[in-house]
Structure 1
Amino acid sequence: MLGFDGYMEQLLDELTGHDSHRRILPIVGMGGAGKTTLARNVYENSLVLYRFDVRAWVTVSQEYSATHMLSQALSCFGQSGNITDDELGIKLHKYLFGRRYLIVLDDMWSVKAWEEIRNSFPENGNGSRIIVTTRQQELVDYFGSSSLAVGFLDYENSWNLFCEATFAEQKCPPQLEGIAEKIVKKCKGLPLAILVLGGLLGKGPRTQEHWEEIAKDKSLVMEYSDDGDKPYNILYMSYKYMPVWLRSCFLYMGLFPEDHLIDVSRLIKMWVAEGFIKPTENQTLEQVAESYMKELVDRNLLLVGKSNEHDKVLSYCLHDLVRELCIKTANIENFYCVQRDPLT
Protein backbone atom coordinates (compact mmCIF):
# COMPACT_ATOMS: atom_id res chain seq x y z
CA MET A 1 0.00 0.00 0.00
CA LEU A 2 3.03 2.29 -0.26
CA GLY A 3 1.99 5.48 -2.05
CA PHE A 4 -1.71 4.63 -1.79
CA ASP A 5 -2.61 6.83 1.17
CA GLY A 6 -4.26 9.46 -1.02
CA TYR A 7 -6.28 6.83 -2.88
CA MET A 8 -7.39 5.26 0.40
CA GLU A 9 -8.54 8.60 1.81
CA GLN A 10 -10.46 9.51 -1.34
CA LEU A 11 -12.17 6.14 -1.57
CA LEU A 12 -13.11 6.08 2.12
CA ASP A 13 -14.64 9.56 1.72
CA GLU A 14 -16.74 8.28 -1.19
CA LEU A 15 -17.84 5.21 0.75
CA THR A 16 -18.77 6.94 3.99
CA GLY A 17 -20.19 10.18 2.51
CA HIS A 18 -23.73 11.37 3.15
CA ASP A 19 -25.09 10.70 -0.35
CA SER A 20 -28.00 8.33 0.27
CA HIS A 21 -28.23 7.07 -3.31
CA ARG A 22 -26.62 3.80 -4.28
CA ARG A 23 -23.36 4.74 -5.94
CA ILE A 24 -20.95 2.87 -8.20
CA LEU A 25 -17.29 3.72 -7.59
CA PRO A 26 -14.92 2.55 -10.37
CA ILE A 27 -11.20 2.06 -9.71
CA VAL A 28 -9.41 2.09 -13.06
CA GLY A 29 -5.79 1.39 -13.93
CA MET A 30 -3.52 -0.95 -15.85
CA GLY A 31 -2.79 -4.51 -14.78
CA GLY A 32 -0.40 -4.71 -11.86
CA ALA A 33 -1.08 -1.14 -10.70
CA GLY A 34 -2.62 -2.23 -7.39
CA LYS A 35 -6.37 -1.81 -7.96
CA THR A 36 -7.32 -5.04 -6.20
CA THR A 37 -4.91 -4.35 -3.34
CA LEU A 38 -6.49 -0.94 -2.84
CA ALA A 39 -10.02 -2.34 -2.95
CA ARG A 40 -9.13 -5.14 -0.52
CA ASN A 41 -7.61 -2.75 2.01
CA VAL A 42 -10.66 -0.51 1.87
CA TYR A 43 -12.99 -3.52 2.06
CA GLU A 44 -11.35 -4.62 5.31
CA ASN A 45 -11.04 -1.12 6.80
CA SER A 46 -12.61 -0.68 10.25
CA LEU A 47 -14.61 2.38 9.11
CA VAL A 48 -16.14 0.32 6.31
CA LEU A 49 -16.93 -2.56 8.67
CA TYR A 50 -18.76 -0.12 10.93
CA ARG A 51 -20.55 1.72 8.11
CA PHE A 52 -22.08 -1.15 6.14
CA ASP A 53 -24.50 -3.83 7.29
CA VAL A 54 -23.18 -6.44 4.86
CA ARG A 55 -20.28 -6.78 2.42
CA ALA A 56 -19.50 -9.10 -0.48
CA TRP A 57 -16.44 -9.62 -2.66
CA VAL A 58 -17.08 -10.88 -6.20
CA THR A 59 -14.29 -11.72 -8.66
CA VAL A 60 -15.51 -11.22 -12.23
CA SER A 61 -12.59 -11.73 -14.71
CA GLN A 62 -12.68 -11.89 -18.50
CA GLU A 63 -14.37 -15.27 -18.57
CA TYR A 64 -17.34 -14.72 -16.30
CA SER A 65 -20.81 -16.11 -15.73
CA ALA A 66 -23.78 -14.52 -14.00
CA THR A 67 -24.27 -17.73 -12.01
CA HIS A 68 -20.76 -17.61 -10.60
CA MET A 69 -20.90 -13.89 -9.78
CA LEU A 70 -24.26 -14.12 -8.01
CA SER A 71 -23.23 -17.29 -6.18
CA GLN A 72 -20.06 -15.61 -4.91
CA ALA A 73 -22.08 -12.70 -3.51
CA LEU A 74 -24.62 -14.98 -1.84
CA SER A 75 -21.89 -17.18 -0.34
CA CYS A 76 -20.45 -14.09 1.39
CA PHE A 77 -23.78 -13.83 3.21
CA GLY A 78 -24.00 -17.53 3.99
CA GLN A 79 -26.69 -17.97 1.35
CA SER A 80 -26.46 -20.72 -1.26
CA GLY A 81 -28.56 -23.12 -3.28
CA ASN A 82 -28.72 -24.99 -6.56
CA ILE A 83 -31.11 -22.63 -8.36
CA THR A 84 -31.36 -20.81 -11.69
CA ASP A 85 -29.71 -17.46 -12.49
CA ASP A 86 -33.05 -15.65 -12.20
CA GLU A 87 -33.68 -17.24 -8.81
CA LEU A 88 -30.15 -16.38 -7.68
CA GLY A 89 -30.68 -12.75 -8.68
CA ILE A 90 -34.03 -12.57 -6.88
CA LYS A 91 -32.60 -14.20 -3.77
CA LEU A 92 -29.68 -11.72 -3.69
CA HIS A 93 -32.03 -8.77 -4.25
CA LYS A 94 -34.26 -9.89 -1.38
CA TYR A 95 -31.31 -10.35 0.94
CA LEU A 96 -29.87 -6.89 0.16
CA PHE A 97 -33.21 -5.08 0.22
CA GLY A 98 -33.31 -2.65 3.13
CA ARG A 99 -29.68 -3.26 4.09
CA ARG A 100 -26.80 -0.85 3.57
CA TYR A 101 -24.41 -2.97 1.54
CA LEU A 102 -20.96 -2.77 0.01
CA ILE A 103 -20.22 -4.94 -3.01
CA VAL A 104 -16.80 -5.19 -4.66
CA LEU A 105 -16.83 -6.37 -8.28
CA ASP A 106 -13.16 -7.07 -8.87
CA ASP A 107 -11.56 -7.24 -12.32
CA MET A 108 -14.58 -6.44 -14.48
CA TRP A 109 -13.89 -6.29 -18.21
CA SER A 110 -17.17 -5.53 -19.94
CA VAL A 111 -20.42 -3.60 -19.67
CA LYS A 112 -22.26 -6.82 -20.47
CA ALA A 113 -20.99 -8.47 -17.26
CA TRP A 114 -22.50 -5.63 -15.22
CA GLU A 115 -25.78 -5.63 -17.11
CA GLU A 116 -26.29 -9.33 -16.38
CA ILE A 117 -26.33 -8.76 -12.62
CA ARG A 118 -27.26 -5.09 -12.11
CA ASN A 119 -30.89 -5.78 -11.20
CA SER A 120 -29.77 -7.85 -8.23
CA PHE A 121 -28.54 -4.74 -6.37
CA PRO A 122 -31.47 -2.70 -5.04
CA GLU A 123 -31.54 1.07 -4.63
CA ASN A 124 -32.30 1.26 -0.94
CA GLY A 125 -31.72 4.98 -0.52
CA ASN A 126 -29.42 4.30 2.43
CA GLY A 127 -25.92 4.93 1.05
CA SER A 128 -25.11 1.50 -0.38
CA ARG A 129 -21.97 1.36 -2.53
CA ILE A 130 -20.55 -0.82 -5.32
CA ILE A 131 -16.81 -0.72 -6.05
CA VAL A 132 -15.75 -1.87 -9.53
CA THR A 133 -12.09 -2.46 -10.36
CA THR A 134 -11.31 -2.46 -14.06
CA ARG A 135 -8.74 -1.76 -16.75
CA GLN A 136 -11.40 -0.59 -19.17
CA GLN A 137 -12.11 3.12 -19.53
CA GLU A 138 -15.23 2.10 -21.44
CA LEU A 139 -16.76 0.84 -18.20
CA VAL A 140 -15.92 4.05 -16.36
CA ASP A 141 -17.56 6.09 -19.13
CA TYR A 142 -20.61 3.81 -19.00
CA PHE A 143 -21.13 4.30 -15.28
CA GLY A 144 -20.78 8.05 -15.74
CA SER A 145 -19.68 8.51 -12.14
CA SER A 146 -16.52 9.89 -10.63
CA SER A 147 -13.74 7.32 -10.79
CA LEU A 148 -10.45 6.74 -9.05
CA ALA A 149 -7.56 6.34 -11.51
CA VAL A 150 -4.65 4.39 -10.02
CA GLY A 151 -1.42 5.50 -11.67
CA PHE A 152 2.24 4.64 -11.32
CA LEU A 153 4.23 5.10 -8.13
CA ASP A 154 6.65 8.00 -7.85
CA TYR A 155 10.33 7.19 -7.44
CA GLU A 156 10.37 7.51 -3.66
CA ASN A 157 7.53 5.04 -3.17
CA SER A 158 8.95 2.77 -5.88
CA TRP A 159 12.25 2.67 -4.00
CA ASN A 160 10.59 1.98 -0.66
CA LEU A 161 8.49 -0.83 -2.15
CA PHE A 162 11.55 -2.34 -3.82
CA CYS A 163 13.52 -2.30 -0.56
CA GLU A 164 10.60 -3.84 1.32
CA ALA A 165 10.22 -6.63 -1.26
CA THR A 166 13.96 -7.28 -1.54
CA PHE A 167 15.36 -6.73 1.94
CA ALA A 168 12.29 -6.99 4.21
CA GLU A 169 13.04 -4.79 7.21
CA GLN A 170 16.65 -4.12 6.22
CA LYS A 171 18.15 -1.34 4.13
CA CYS A 172 19.78 -1.72 0.75
CA PRO A 173 23.53 -2.38 1.17
CA PRO A 174 25.52 0.73 0.14
CA GLN A 175 27.52 -1.15 -2.50
CA LEU A 176 24.27 -2.14 -4.28
CA GLU A 177 22.44 1.18 -4.11
CA GLY A 178 23.61 2.50 -7.49
CA ILE A 179 22.63 -0.70 -9.33
CA ALA A 180 19.35 -0.93 -7.41
CA GLU A 181 18.40 2.61 -8.42
CA LYS A 182 18.85 1.72 -12.11
CA ILE A 183 16.69 -1.39 -11.70
CA VAL A 184 13.92 0.49 -9.86
CA LYS A 185 13.81 3.21 -12.54
CA LYS A 186 13.34 0.59 -15.25
CA CYS A 187 10.18 -0.65 -13.48
CA LYS A 188 8.64 2.79 -14.18
CA GLY A 189 6.54 2.79 -11.04
CA LEU A 190 4.50 -0.38 -11.72
CA PRO A 191 4.01 -2.09 -8.33
CA LEU A 192 3.74 -5.66 -9.69
CA ALA A 193 7.00 -5.33 -11.63
CA ILE A 194 8.77 -3.91 -8.58
CA LEU A 195 7.48 -6.71 -6.33
CA VAL A 196 8.44 -9.49 -8.76
CA LEU A 197 11.92 -8.09 -9.34
CA GLY A 198 12.32 -7.55 -5.61
CA GLY A 199 11.36 -11.18 -5.03
CA LEU A 200 13.89 -12.29 -7.66
CA LEU A 201 16.77 -10.25 -6.24
CA GLY A 202 15.86 -11.08 -2.67
CA LYS A 203 16.28 -14.81 -3.37
CA GLY A 204 19.57 -14.47 -5.27
CA PRO A 205 23.12 -13.64 -4.21
CA ARG A 206 23.55 -10.07 -3.01
CA THR A 207 26.69 -9.42 -5.00
CA GLN A 208 27.54 -6.60 -7.38
CA GLU A 209 28.27 -9.12 -10.15
CA HIS A 210 24.84 -10.76 -9.94
CA TRP A 211 22.95 -7.49 -9.67
CA GLU A 212 24.88 -5.98 -12.58
CA GLU A 213 23.94 -9.05 -14.63
CA ILE A 214 20.28 -8.38 -13.84
CA ALA A 215 20.57 -4.64 -14.52
CA LYS A 216 22.16 -5.25 -17.94
CA ASP A 217 19.71 -7.97 -18.97
CA LYS A 218 17.85 -7.04 -22.14
CA SER A 219 14.60 -8.31 -20.62
CA LEU A 220 14.73 -5.53 -18.03
CA VAL A 221 12.56 -3.28 -20.16
CA MET A 222 9.01 -2.13 -19.43
CA GLU A 223 7.78 -3.16 -22.85
CA TYR A 224 4.05 -3.70 -23.39
CA SER A 225 2.11 -5.83 -25.81
CA ASP A 226 -0.20 -4.29 -28.40
CA ASP A 227 -2.95 -3.69 -25.85
CA GLY A 228 -0.49 -1.65 -23.77
CA ASP A 229 -1.33 -3.61 -20.69
CA LYS A 230 1.06 -6.52 -20.23
CA PRO A 231 4.69 -5.87 -19.23
CA TYR A 232 5.86 -9.36 -20.19
CA ASN A 233 9.56 -8.65 -20.62
CA ILE A 234 10.25 -7.40 -17.13
CA LEU A 235 8.13 -10.15 -15.56
CA TYR A 236 9.84 -12.82 -17.68
CA MET A 237 13.04 -12.20 -15.74
CA SER A 238 11.46 -13.89 -12.73
CA TYR A 239 11.31 -17.08 -14.81
CA LYS A 240 14.64 -16.62 -16.57
CA TYR A 241 16.54 -16.55 -13.27
CA MET A 242 14.37 -19.16 -11.54
CA PRO A 243 15.98 -22.41 -10.33
CA VAL A 244 15.46 -25.21 -12.85
CA TRP A 245 13.73 -27.43 -10.30
CA LEU A 246 11.03 -24.80 -9.74
CA ARG A 247 10.26 -23.94 -13.37
CA SER A 248 7.91 -26.81 -14.21
CA CYS A 249 5.86 -26.22 -11.06
CA PHE A 250 5.57 -22.52 -11.89
CA LEU A 251 4.56 -22.98 -15.54
CA TYR A 252 2.00 -25.60 -14.53
CA MET A 253 0.11 -22.93 -12.57
CA GLY A 254 -1.02 -21.33 -15.84
CA LEU A 255 -3.38 -24.27 -16.46
CA PHE A 256 -5.72 -23.09 -13.71
CA PRO A 257 -8.51 -20.66 -14.69
CA GLU A 258 -8.03 -16.94 -14.22
CA ASP A 259 -8.56 -15.76 -10.61
CA HIS A 260 -9.07 -19.37 -9.52
CA LEU A 261 -8.40 -20.29 -5.89
CA ILE A 262 -6.01 -23.23 -6.14
CA ASP A 263 -6.51 -25.77 -3.37
CA VAL A 264 -3.17 -26.65 -1.75
CA SER A 265 -3.80 -30.38 -1.33
CA ARG A 266 -5.07 -30.68 -4.90
CA LEU A 267 -2.06 -28.82 -6.30
CA ILE A 268 0.35 -31.07 -4.41
CA LYS A 269 -1.32 -34.19 -5.84
CA MET A 270 -1.17 -32.74 -9.37
CA TRP A 271 2.50 -31.77 -9.07
CA VAL A 272 3.35 -35.23 -7.74
CA ALA A 273 1.34 -36.96 -10.48
CA GLU A 274 3.22 -34.96 -13.12
CA GLY A 275 6.55 -36.01 -11.62
CA PHE A 276 7.63 -32.49 -10.66
CA ILE A 277 8.27 -33.37 -7.01
CA LYS A 278 10.98 -35.74 -5.84
CA PRO A 279 11.31 -36.88 -2.21
CA THR A 280 14.45 -36.17 -0.22
CA GLU A 281 16.02 -37.99 2.70
CA ASN A 282 14.53 -35.58 5.21
CA GLN A 283 11.28 -34.48 3.51
CA THR A 284 8.16 -36.18 2.21
CA LEU A 285 6.70 -35.32 -1.19
CA GLU A 286 4.14 -33.08 0.50
CA GLN A 287 6.81 -31.21 2.44
CA VAL A 288 8.90 -30.67 -0.69
CA ALA A 289 5.84 -29.39 -2.57
CA GLU A 290 4.99 -27.01 0.25
CA SER A 291 8.55 -25.67 0.22
CA TYR A 292 8.17 -25.02 -3.54
CA MET A 293 4.97 -23.08 -2.90
CA LYS A 294 6.68 -21.00 -0.24
CA GLU A 295 9.51 -20.29 -2.67
CA LEU A 296 7.01 -18.97 -5.24
CA VAL A 297 5.31 -16.85 -2.57
CA ASP A 298 8.68 -15.42 -1.50
CA ARG A 299 9.31 -14.50 -5.13
CA ASN A 300 5.96 -12.64 -5.22
CA LEU A 301 4.75 -14.94 -8.01
CA LEU A 302 2.13 -16.81 -5.96
CA LEU A 303 -0.44 -15.11 -3.75
CA VAL A 304 -2.00 -16.55 -0.63
CA GLY A 305 -5.72 -17.06 -1.21
CA LYS A 306 -7.27 -18.43 1.98
CA SER A 307 -5.87 -19.52 5.34
CA ASN A 308 -7.44 -21.18 8.35
CA GLU A 309 -7.56 -19.84 11.89
CA HIS A 310 -4.08 -21.28 12.53
CA ASP A 311 -2.61 -19.39 9.54
CA LYS A 312 -2.20 -22.60 7.56
CA VAL A 313 -2.57 -21.77 3.87
CA LEU A 314 -5.52 -23.57 2.26
CA SER A 315 -5.36 -22.06 -1.23
CA TYR A 316 -3.27 -19.87 -3.50
CA CYS A 317 -3.97 -17.75 -6.56
CA LEU A 318 -2.05 -16.03 -9.37
CA HIS A 319 -2.16 -12.43 -10.51
CA ASP A 320 -3.59 -12.62 -14.01
CA LEU A 321 -0.44 -11.07 -15.55
CA VAL A 322 1.69 -13.75 -13.87
CA ARG A 323 -0.71 -16.39 -15.17
CA GLU A 324 -0.33 -14.95 -18.68
CA LEU A 325 3.44 -15.16 -18.21
CA CYS A 326 3.09 -18.87 -17.34
CA ILE A 327 0.97 -19.56 -20.42
CA LYS A 328 3.09 -17.56 -22.84
CA THR A 329 6.36 -19.07 -21.60
CA ALA A 330 4.90 -22.60 -21.60
CA ASN A 331 3.82 -22.17 -25.22
CA ILE A 332 7.25 -20.91 -26.25
CA GLU A 333 9.00 -23.82 -24.51
CA ASN A 334 6.42 -26.40 -25.68
CA PHE A 335 5.68 -27.26 -22.07
CA TYR A 336 1.97 -27.18 -22.87
CA CYS A 337 -0.24 -25.37 -25.34
CA VAL A 338 -3.40 -23.52 -24.31
CA GLN A 339 -6.08 -23.33 -26.99
CA ARG A 340 -7.99 -20.05 -26.79
CA ASP A 341 -11.06 -18.58 -28.36
CA PRO A 342 -9.73 -16.16 -31.02
CA LEU A 343 -12.08 -13.47 -29.70
CA THR A 344 -10.57 -13.52 -26.18
Structure 2
Amino acid sequence: RHGGPRDRLGMGGVGKTTASALFNILCSEFEGCCFVPNVREQSEKNGIIQLRDKLLSILLEEKDLNIGANGVPSHVLRRLGRKKILVVLDDVNNPDHVQSLVGGHEWLGQGSRIFITTRDKHVICKEADDIYEVGALEHHEALQLLNLHAFNGRSLQMSQHNLMTKVVDYAQGLPLALKVLG
Protein backbone atom coordinates (compact mmCIF):
# COMPACT_ATOMS: atom_id res chain seq x y z
CA ARG A 1 0.00 0.00 0.00
CA HIS A 2 1.19 3.50 -0.83
CA GLY A 3 1.84 5.86 2.01
CA GLY A 4 -0.61 8.70 1.94
CA PRO A 5 0.12 12.28 2.81
CA ARG A 6 0.97 13.12 6.39
CA ASP A 7 -0.30 16.61 6.97
CA ARG A 8 1.18 18.90 9.59
CA LEU A 9 -0.73 21.91 10.77
CA GLY A 10 0.93 24.49 12.94
CA MET A 11 1.75 28.07 13.66
CA GLY A 12 4.39 29.83 11.63
CA GLY A 13 7.94 29.14 12.73
CA VAL A 14 7.21 25.53 13.66
CA GLY A 15 6.43 23.48 10.54
CA LYS A 16 9.55 23.93 8.43
CA THR A 17 11.90 23.23 11.32
CA THR A 18 10.03 20.04 12.18
CA ALA A 19 9.67 18.95 8.56
CA SER A 20 13.33 19.64 7.80
CA ALA A 21 14.47 17.55 10.75
CA LEU A 22 12.12 14.74 9.75
CA PHE A 23 13.36 14.90 6.15
CA ASN A 24 17.01 14.68 7.22
CA ILE A 25 16.30 11.66 9.42
CA LEU A 26 14.20 9.74 6.89
CA CYS A 27 15.78 10.56 3.53
CA SER A 28 18.31 7.70 3.56
CA GLU A 29 15.42 5.19 3.62
CA PHE A 30 14.09 6.32 0.22
CA GLU A 31 15.21 6.03 -3.42
CA GLY A 32 14.31 9.64 -4.14
CA CYS A 33 13.88 12.60 -1.80
CA CYS A 34 12.89 16.20 -2.23
CA PHE A 35 12.19 18.95 0.30
CA VAL A 36 10.21 21.76 -1.35
CA PRO A 37 10.38 24.86 0.87
CA ASN A 38 7.89 27.72 0.63
CA VAL A 39 5.47 26.12 -1.86
CA ARG A 40 3.12 29.11 -1.51
CA GLU A 41 5.83 31.64 -2.32
CA GLN A 42 7.45 29.61 -5.11
CA SER A 43 4.14 28.85 -6.82
CA GLU A 44 3.12 32.53 -6.72
CA LYS A 45 6.50 33.60 -8.11
CA ASN A 46 7.14 30.97 -10.80
CA GLY A 47 3.88 29.03 -11.15
CA ILE A 48 2.94 25.57 -9.93
CA ILE A 49 3.88 23.90 -13.26
CA GLN A 50 7.49 25.09 -13.09
CA LEU A 51 7.68 23.99 -9.44
CA ARG A 52 6.29 20.55 -10.35
CA ASP A 53 8.82 20.16 -13.18
CA LYS A 54 11.67 21.07 -10.81
CA LEU A 55 10.41 18.57 -8.20
CA LEU A 56 10.10 15.77 -10.76
CA SER A 57 13.58 16.55 -12.15
CA ILE A 58 15.03 16.05 -8.68
CA LEU A 59 13.07 12.88 -7.94
CA LEU A 60 13.90 11.28 -11.29
CA GLU A 61 17.48 12.61 -11.29
CA GLU A 62 16.92 14.09 -14.74
CA LYS A 63 18.27 17.57 -15.35
CA ASP A 64 15.83 20.23 -16.52
CA LEU A 65 12.80 17.99 -16.99
CA ASN A 66 10.32 20.22 -18.80
CA ILE A 67 6.86 18.67 -18.87
CA GLY A 68 4.82 21.87 -19.15
CA ALA A 69 1.10 22.36 -18.76
CA ASN A 70 -0.16 19.31 -20.70
CA GLY A 71 0.09 16.99 -17.71
CA VAL A 72 2.64 14.41 -16.66
CA PRO A 73 3.27 11.83 -19.42
CA SER A 74 2.62 8.17 -18.66
CA HIS A 75 6.33 7.21 -19.04
CA VAL A 76 7.22 9.70 -16.27
CA LEU A 77 4.43 8.35 -14.05
CA ARG A 78 5.69 4.79 -14.60
CA ARG A 79 9.21 5.81 -13.52
CA LEU A 80 7.86 7.54 -10.41
CA GLY A 81 5.66 4.55 -9.62
CA ARG A 82 8.71 2.27 -9.43
CA LYS A 83 10.47 4.40 -6.80
CA LYS A 84 10.01 4.70 -3.06
CA ILE A 85 9.97 8.47 -2.65
CA LEU A 86 9.92 10.98 0.20
CA VAL A 87 8.51 14.43 -0.56
CA VAL A 88 8.09 17.27 1.92
CA LEU A 89 5.92 20.16 0.74
CA ASP A 90 6.39 23.12 3.06
CA ASP A 91 3.92 25.99 3.52
CA VAL A 92 1.19 24.76 1.18
CA ASN A 93 -1.72 27.20 1.01
CA ASN A 94 -3.78 25.72 -1.82
CA PRO A 95 -5.30 22.22 -1.61
CA ASP A 96 -4.85 21.75 -5.38
CA HIS A 97 -1.08 22.20 -5.13
CA VAL A 98 -0.54 18.74 -3.60
CA GLN A 99 -2.34 17.12 -6.53
CA SER A 100 -0.49 19.34 -9.02
CA LEU A 101 2.93 18.60 -7.54
CA VAL A 102 2.79 14.89 -6.71
CA GLY A 103 -0.64 13.64 -7.77
CA GLY A 104 -1.60 12.80 -4.20
CA HIS A 105 -0.04 9.40 -3.61
CA GLU A 106 -1.16 7.64 -6.78
CA TRP A 107 1.92 8.79 -8.74
CA LEU A 108 4.42 7.38 -6.26
CA GLY A 109 5.74 3.89 -5.61
CA GLN A 110 5.07 1.51 -2.75
CA GLY A 111 6.20 2.88 0.62
CA SER A 112 6.44 6.48 -0.59
CA ARG A 113 5.58 9.29 1.80
CA ILE A 114 4.35 12.84 1.32
CA PHE A 115 4.59 15.28 4.23
CA ILE A 116 2.78 18.60 3.99
CA THR A 117 3.15 21.62 6.24
CA THR A 118 0.42 24.23 6.23
CA ARG A 119 -1.03 26.95 8.40
CA ASP A 120 -4.51 26.57 6.88
CA LYS A 121 -6.84 23.74 7.89
CA HIS A 122 -8.69 23.84 4.54
CA VAL A 123 -5.51 22.70 2.75
CA ILE A 124 -5.35 19.37 4.56
CA CYS A 125 -5.92 16.50 2.14
CA LYS A 126 -8.97 14.27 2.44
CA GLU A 127 -6.79 11.21 1.77
CA ALA A 128 -4.26 12.05 4.50
CA ASP A 129 -3.40 9.08 6.67
CA ASP A 130 -2.40 11.21 9.65
CA ILE A 131 -2.73 14.82 10.67
CA TYR A 132 -0.42 16.27 13.30
CA GLU A 133 -1.00 19.65 14.86
CA VAL A 134 2.41 21.04 15.71
CA GLY A 135 2.70 23.62 18.44
CA ALA A 136 5.45 25.45 20.23
CA LEU A 137 8.16 23.58 22.13
CA GLU A 138 7.88 22.87 25.83
CA HIS A 139 10.08 25.13 27.98
CA HIS A 140 12.81 22.51 28.59
CA GLU A 141 12.88 21.56 24.88
CA ALA A 142 13.15 25.22 23.90
CA LEU A 143 16.07 25.66 26.32
CA GLN A 144 17.85 22.67 24.77
CA LEU A 145 17.35 23.97 21.24
CA LEU A 146 18.53 27.46 22.15
CA ASN A 147 21.55 26.03 23.98
CA LEU A 148 22.42 23.98 20.92
CA HIS A 149 22.37 27.02 18.62
CA ALA A 150 23.82 29.59 21.03
CA PHE A 151 26.43 27.53 22.88
CA ASN A 152 26.81 24.31 20.84
CA GLY A 153 25.20 22.37 23.69
CA ARG A 154 27.87 23.24 26.27
CA SER A 155 27.14 23.43 29.99
CA LEU A 156 26.06 26.88 31.10
CA GLN A 157 26.80 29.14 34.01
CA MET A 158 23.84 30.36 36.05
CA SER A 159 23.92 33.85 34.47
CA GLN A 160 23.78 32.31 30.98
CA HIS A 161 20.93 30.02 32.03
CA ASN A 162 18.93 33.00 33.33
CA LEU A 163 19.47 34.88 30.07
CA MET A 164 18.45 31.84 28.04
CA THR A 165 15.25 31.51 30.06
CA LYS A 166 14.35 35.09 29.16
CA VAL A 167 15.08 34.41 25.48
CA VAL A 168 12.94 31.25 25.52
CA ASP A 169 10.08 33.17 27.12
CA TYR A 170 10.44 35.91 24.49
CA ALA A 171 10.46 33.39 21.61
CA GLN A 172 7.38 31.61 23.01
CA GLY A 173 8.84 28.21 22.18
CA LEU A 174 8.97 28.76 18.41
CA PRO A 175 11.88 26.74 16.98
CA LEU A 176 12.62 29.18 14.17
CA ALA A 177 12.82 32.13 16.58
CA LEU A 178 15.07 30.14 18.93
CA LYS A 179 17.36 29.15 16.06
CA VAL A 180 17.65 32.77 14.86
CA LEU A 181 18.14 34.19 18.35
CA GLY A 182 20.74 31.51 19.17
TM surpasses 0.5:
yes
Corresponding residue of 2:82: 98
1:197 aligns with 2:157: no
Alignment check: 8 A CA contact 2:144 2:153 kept: no
Which residue does the alignment assign to 1:24? 5
Q: Which residue does 1:211 correspond to in 2?
A: none
> What CA distance in whole angstroms lies between the structure 1 residues aligned with 2:147 and 2:25?
26
TM-score, length of structure 2 as denominator length? 0.78
When Rg is computed on C-alpha atoms for both structures, the one with the higher figure is 1
Cα distance in structure 2, aligned partners of 1:181 and 1:151: 19
Question: Does the CA contact (< 8 Å) of 2:83 and 2:109 recur in 1?
Answer: no
* 1:49 equivalenced with 2:32 (yes/no): no
Give the drift of 1:183.
3.0
The answer to whether the 8 Å contact 1:24/1:130 transfers is yes
Instruction: State the AA in 2 paired with 1:41.
Output: A
Give the corresponding residue for 2:61.
Answer: 78
Moved more, 37-46 or 67-76: 37-46
Rate the CA distance shift 1:120–1:168 in 2: closer, same or farther, 3 A.
closer
CA distance 1:189–1:109, shift in 2 (3 Å): same
Q: Residues 158 and 191 of structure 1 are in contact (CA less than 8 Å); yes or no, is this contact kept in structure 2?
A: yes
Report the alpha carbon displacement of residue 189 of structure 1 after superposing the two structures with TM.
0.9
Q: After superposition, where does 1:109-258 map in structure 2 within 5 Å?
A: 109-119=93-103, 122=106, 126-140=110-124, 142-198=126-182
Counterpart residue number, 2:20: 40
Unaligned regions of 5+ residues in structure 1, if any?
Answer: 1-19, 199-344
CA distance in 1: counterparts of 2:138 and 2:176, whole angstroms: 14
- Cα deviations across residues 197-238 of structure 1 (Å, max 9, x unaligned)? 22xxxxxxxxxxxxxxxxxxxxxxxxxxxxxxxxxxxxxxxx
TM-score (norm 1): 0.45
1:69 maps onto 2:78 in alignment: no
Unaligned runs of 5+ in 2: none
Report which structure shows greater RCO (CA 8 Å, sep ≥6). 2
| Mapped partners of 1:142, 1:121: distance in 2 | 12
